[in-house]
Structure 1
Amino acid sequence: MRQNPSFTLASEEGVKRLVREHPWAIIVSMTDASGLVASHYPVLLDETAEGIVLLTHVGRPDEVVHELGRHEVLVIIQGPHGYISPGWYDANPAVPTWNFVTAHLHGTPELLEPDENLRVLDALVDHFEQRMPEPRSMRSTPENAAYAERIAAGTVGLRIPVARFVAKNKMSQNRPDETVDRIIAELDGDGPYASPALAEEMRRTHEVLRAARAERAGATSADASAPAVGERA
């Protein structure tokens, strides 16, 4: 993924937030037998580990197709994204663009033992079920537990320590505040390219940027008003 300093997401915590909020991932492998292979699975963060560590599973025989454990994989996490019309800018000539936030995570998977795999499956189900009015865990009853253990045998659990990542948060940081506010208003509206989720991501990004600018301006103002060395305050 080509980087641009204006849009680089270099924060490990920022990437973790992206994974937590958008856990549907694409896992890509370059294999000896089949060339490029891609699969789609939900992922969780191992919150007890240092750095970024992903927990997930694949259905058999994907562990064979991907040759998991034999080489590095690429895990792609995609957050909110959407079309940005030049009509939302100003009267000057402009072209459309696409705003998005995404991370490319690289690491070599570790295949889990069956009991560890079952714990990961439990955690995945509980993570998504917790929002339900009546959460249903995978092993809430003896019948459910027996069924879960049979189903789990058809899956392979993975732990993926992320060795490196490249992430990008492109949210019109190169546009003036009034244009950004207009884009956010359009995304929050009811037009054909409305996207409240993208509007919220833009809002979050620019709140941080504006706060940083205000802090720098305050520091500069304080420095300018401070008495010079040797002067009386």
Structure 2
Amino acid sequence: MKVVLVDLREELFESADASLRTVGASDVATCKVDVSDASAVTRLESEIVEKFGGIDVLMCNAGIQPGSDIFDQAGTWDRVLSVNLGGVTSFCQIFVPGMLSRGQPGLVINTGSKQGITTPPGDPAYNVSKAGVKVFTEALQHHLREVRAKVSAHLLVPGHVFTDLTRRGRREKPAGAWTPEQTADFMMESLAKGDFYIICPDNDVSRPLDEKRMAWAMGDIIENRPPLSRWHKGWAASFETFSKGA
């Protein structure tokens, strides 16, 4: 594959370029782009088409998690939403029409989060951004299916992965976390099966427990429980009983 890496951190480009070439990338380009800047994304799309002729695989993986509070006293909401959600919507809206016009098979992979599904308390801006990625990607895949496109969209939902986003100063990978390589391998296996929802387990949480957590979150709506009842002191014991055996 010919690969274009997009990031703000130019200091990572040299090692990433070398790593990709060792596994057979035929050509690698690196571009410093702020994914929240739609005009920069538009310029990037034009440059890639000019250099490589078009795009067949688009992976929207840029994300930040500086922390947030419900009343935005930390002043992080705008940046989190513009990168985590705005970056995904801009890239898809700017890149996918060209992918469709090529008439060739293609993939769009958007990185969501389990926090966008079960929305645990503690970081509401991040949860909102990742919930938005889920809803947007579902709508995108529905559209692609309805127009019988050769391009399909997929939602990657990582578990606990030891990356710069989750490192928080640690040098050793926590026992419960997966490596990025494990996550990528699981993603490729899921794409080969045609999965839309790529729900990654990790070394702490199994797929059955993930399913219980997601089912309970939806049950708050169906059963008219308090929102986020899993963390409500009046419902915590009920959730523990519900999730036993997972």
* TM-score grouping bracket, smaller chain normalisation: under 0.3
Higher relative contact order (CA 8 A, sep 6+): 1
**Structure with greater strand share of residues:** 1
**Structure with greater helix share of residues:** 2
TM-score by length of 2: 0.24
Higher-Rg structure is 1
TM-score by length of 1: 0.25
